[in-house]
C-alpha cells in the first residue's frame, strides 16, 4: 500500500451533522467492538442485523474497519494506482468506500462504469417512458397517468427475483384545476439472491432498510458493494446500480430549481445495460429488454398539424401513434436532451402487455 495513510478514529474529522464531539469517538469504538464480538456468536438474520449496525456506526464515524474500506485519493503510487485501506474480511458483508465532502467527485471513467449509451430506455418526469428499439434504430414512448402514492412495477425478473418498483408523488403547488403531474419520488431496487435492497428517495439512499442498514445522503460520494451488487453514488447527481450477470441501471436526481415547472424533487430511472436479464423479465420497462417487432406506415398530418400521425402494427394490434419529442436527462438533469419517438396514446395501450393497472404493486419491495 505505497503512500497510504490514515488517522486513528479518535482524530478523524468529525464535521458531519449529528456526529457530535470527537471526544465521544472512543466510546463509539468500544460500542462498535462489542457489535463485532456479538456478531461472531450469531448466525442468520441476527448476524445480519448486528453486521448492519456495525457498518452503520463505521460509516457514521468514518472508522476503517473489517466491515468497511476507505479509498485514499490524491496519493497514487508510481504505477498510478490509488491505495485501498483495509480489505473486508468477509465478502458477504457490504463494502463501502466514501470520500470526504471536500473531495471532487470522480469521473465516469475513474469509476469503471460502462459508458452511458447514446440510446435511451427509461422513465423520467411526468412519468414519460422511453423505449429504445435497436433493431429499428428508433424509440417508442408513452406516459402513465396514475395517482400520487401508486407503486408501479418497472422491472421484474422472475428467474432471479431482481426487481425495481417506483412510487409516484404529486407536483406540489400545482395550478388549481389543472392535471396534477406525478413523478417518481421513491424507488425500491431488490436482488433477493443476495438479500440486497436499496431504497432511493430525493433525500436519502438507504441500503437494506429492512435490517436497519446505513443511510446515505445525496451529498455523499460513495461506493457500496454487497456480493455481486455494486452501487455508486455520484454526489448530488445520480447513482448507478450494477448487478453481475444481471443489469446496470441509473437513478437521476432532479432538484427543484428557479424557473422549473416542477415544484417537487423527484427521480428518473434509466437502463444502461439489460442484455443479461432473463427472457422472462417483465414490468413497464423490463418487458422491452429483449427484441420485439413493429411496423409503421401511413404517415399523415395529425390533429396537431405540426406533428405526424401514423399507423403502427405491434403485437397483432393496429394503433394510431404520433411522432413527438421526449427528453433524456442522464447527462443534463436540468434541461435534458431531446429524443424523437413514436408516442403511443392512452397509457401505452396496445404496446404494453395487458393494461397499465396490471403493473400496480403493493409496495416498493
- 195-217: pLDDT as tens digits: 999 999 999 999 999 888 899 99
pLDDT band at residue 117 using 50, 70 and 90 as cut-offs: low
Same domain membership, residue 235 and residue 131: yes
Residue 107 lies in a domain: no
Closest residue by Cα to residue 348 from 307, 319, 325:
319
Q: Which residues span the domain enclosing 215?
A: 121-135+144-290+355-361
Same domain membership, residue 328 and residue 302: yes
Comparing 108 with 172, which gets the higher pLDDT? Answer: 172
Same domain membership, residue 127 and residue 48: no
pLDDT at residue 300 is higher than 70:
yes
Residue 115 lies in a domain: no
pLDDT band at residue 41 using 50, 70 and 90 as cut-offs: low
Maximum Cα–Cα distance across the chain: 75
Output the pTM of the full model: 0.73
Sign of CA dihedral 208, 150, 247, 337: negative
pLDDT at residue 169 is higher than 80:
yes
Same domain membership, residue 157 and residue 32: no
Supply the pLDDT for residue 344: 98
- Within 8 A by CB and 6+ apart from 34, the residues are none
Same domain membership, residue 332 and residue 270: no
Give the strand pairing for 360-361 and 337-344: unpaired
Q: Which neighbouring-strand residues pair with 170?
A: 182
Supply the pLDDT for residue 49: 74
Lowest mean pLDDT: which of 22-26, 165-169, 276-280?
22-26
Residue 1 lies in a domain: no
Same domain membership, residue 283 and residue 165: yes
Lowest mean pLDDT: which of 119-133, 169-183, 191-205?
169-183
Residue 190: what are its φ and ψ, rounded to 5°?
A: -135, 140
Question: What's the pLDDT tens digit per position in 228-245?
Answer: 899 999 999 999 999 988
Lowest mean pLDDT: which of 62-71, 124-133, 342-351?
62-71
Same domain membership, residue 129 and residue 27: no
Closest residue by Cα to residue 298 from 310, 314, 312:
310
User: Mean pLDDT for the chain?
Assistant: 79
pLDDT band at residue 133 using 50, 70 and 90 as cut-offs: very high
Amino acid at each position: 500500500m505505497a503512500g497510504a495513510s490514515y488517522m486513528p478514529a479518535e482524530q478523524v474529522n468529525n464535521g458531519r451533522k449529528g456526529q457530535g464531539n470527537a471526544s465521544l469517538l472512543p466510546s463509539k469504538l468500544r460500542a462498535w467492538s462489542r457489535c463485532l464480538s456479538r456478531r461472531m456468536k450469531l448466525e442468520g438474520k441476527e448476524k445480519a442485523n448486528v453486521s448492519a449496525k456495525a457498518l452503520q456506526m463505521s460509516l457514521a464515524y468514518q472508522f476503517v474497519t473489517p466491515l468497511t474500506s476507505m479509498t485514499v485519493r490524491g496519493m497514487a503510487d508510481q504505477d498510478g494506482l490509488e491505495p485501498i485501506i483495509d480489505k473486508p474480511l468477509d465478502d458477504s458483508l457490504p463494502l463501502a468506500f466514501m470520500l470526504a465532502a471536500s473531495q471532487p467527485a470522480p469521473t465516469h471513467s475513474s469509476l469503471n462504469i460502462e459508458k452511458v449509451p447514446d440510446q435511451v430506455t427509461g422513465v423520467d418526469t411526468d412519468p414519460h417512458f422511453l423505449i429504445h428499439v435497436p433493431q429499428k434504430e428508433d424509440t417508442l414512448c408513452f406516459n402513465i397517468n396514475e395517482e400520487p402514492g401508486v407503486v408501479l412495477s418497472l422491472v421484474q425478473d422472475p428467474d432471479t427475483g431482481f426487481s425495481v418498483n417506483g412510487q409516484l408523488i404529486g407536483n406540489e403547488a400545482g395550478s388549481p384545476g389543472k392535471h396534477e403531474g406525478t413523478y417518481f419520488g421513491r424507488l425500491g431496487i431488490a436482488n433477493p439472491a443476495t438479500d440486497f435492497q436499496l431504497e432511493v428517495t430525493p433525500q436519502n439512499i438507504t441500503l437494506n432498510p429492512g435490517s436497519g442498514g446505513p443511510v446515505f445522503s445525496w451529498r455523499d460520494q460513495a461506493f457500496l458493494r454487497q456480493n455481486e451488487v455494486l452501487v455508486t453514488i455520484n454526489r448530488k447527481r445520480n447513482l448507478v446500480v450494477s448487478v453481475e450477470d444481471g443489469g446496470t441501471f441509473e437513478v437521476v436526481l432532479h432538484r427543484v430549481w428557479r424557473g422549473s415547472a416542477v415544484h417537487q424533487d423527484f427521480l428518473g430511472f434509466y437502463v444502461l445495460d439489460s442484455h443479461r436479464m432473463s427472457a422472462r423479465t417483465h414490468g413497464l420497462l423490463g418487458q422491452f429488454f429483449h427484441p420485439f417487432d413493429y411496423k409503421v406506415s401511413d404517415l399523415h398530418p395529425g390533429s396537431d398539424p405540426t406533428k405526424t400521425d401514423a399507423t403502427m402494427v405491434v403485437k397483432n394490434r393496429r394503433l394510431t401513434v404520433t411522432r413527438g419529442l421526449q427528453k433524456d436527462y442522464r447527462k443534463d438533469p436540468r434541461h435534458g436532451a431531446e429524443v424523437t419517438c413514436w408516442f403511443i396514446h392512452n397509457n401505452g395501450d396496445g404496446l404494453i402487455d395487458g393494461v397499465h393497472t396490471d403493473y400496480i404493486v403493493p409496495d416498493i419491495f
